[in-house]
Amino acid sequence: MPVYEPWAGEPDVLGEASEVGRRAAAWIRSLPGPPAPCPVSMWLAGALPEAVEAAMGSLDPADCDRMGPDGQLIVPAVWTPGR
């Protein structure tokens, strides 16, 4: 099985994705909250933007299983059988 190899420009694209996540989190934080605090508003104000920012900032294509253009499985660079 072929092993994942980084492609040209990958660090730039991942950096841009991380920046998009920071902007999305800032936008979520800027939304007006409801007049009275509730569990949903607390989630929107805290946990959701943090999760968006963390997810977009930690994208790692090398940590994905996927099919190559030829239909063969491409495994992560660090792969454990039966994972």
Q: For 31-80, what is each residue's pLDDT tens digit?
A: 887 777 788 878 887 889 999 999 999 887 777 666 665 767 776 655 55
> Residue 1: which residues within 8 A CB-CB, separation 6 or more?
72, 73, 74, 75
Beta bridge partners of 75: 3
What predicted TM-score, i.e. pTM, was given to this entire model?
Answer: 0.65
